[in-house]
Amino acid sequence: MNIQLLDLKAQYEELKDELTSAVLEVLESQRYIGGKKVEELEQKIADMSNSRFAVGASSGTDAILNTLMSLDIKEGDEVITTPFTFFSTAGCIARLGAKPVFVDIKYDTFNIDPVKIKPAISSRTKAIMPVHLFGQMAEMDAVMKIAEENDLYVIEDAAQAISATYKGNKAGSIGTAGCFSFFPSKNLGGIGDGGMVVTDDEKLYERLKIMRNHGSSPKYFHKYIGGNFRLDPIQAAALLVKLPYLDKWSEKRREHLDYYNQMFSGYPEILVPTINDYCVSVVNQYVIRVKRRDELKEYLRKNGVGTEVYYPKPLHLQECFKYLGYQNEDLPVSEQAAKEVLALPIYPEMTEEMLTYVAEHVVNFVKNN
CATH of the domain at 302: 3.90.1150.10
Instruction: Let me know if residue 62 belongs to a domain.
Output: yes
Asked if residue 160 and residue 305 are part of one domain, the reply reads: no
- The total domain count for the chain is 2
CATH of the domain at 186: 3.40.640.10
pTM of this prediction exceeds 0.95 = yes
Instruction: Let me know if residue 3 belongs to a domain.
Output: no
Q: How far apart are CA 101 and CA 297, in angstroms?
A: 32
N-to-C CA span, the chain: 22
Asked if residue 288 and residue 211 are part of one domain, the reply reads: no
Asked if residue 156 and residue 298 are part of one domain, the reply reads: no
pLDDT tens string, the chain, 369 residues long: the values are 999 999 999 999 999 999 999 999 999 999 999 999 999 999 999 999 999 999 999 999 999 999 999 999 999 999 999 999 999 999 999 999 999 999 999 999 999 999 999 999 999 999 999 999 999 999 999 999 999 999 999 999 999 999 999 999 999 999 999 999 999 999 999 999 999 999 999 999 999 999 999 999 999 999 999 999 999 999 999 999 999 999 999 999 999 999 999 999 999 999 999 999 999 999 999 999 999 999 999 999 999 999 999 999 999 999 999 999 999 999 999 999 999 999 999 999 999 999 999 999 999 999 998
Q: How far apart are CA 171 and CA 131, in angstroms?
A: 10
Q: How far apart are CA 314 and CA 329, in angstroms?
A: 11
User: Which residue range is the domain that position 271 belongs to?
Assistant: 246-368
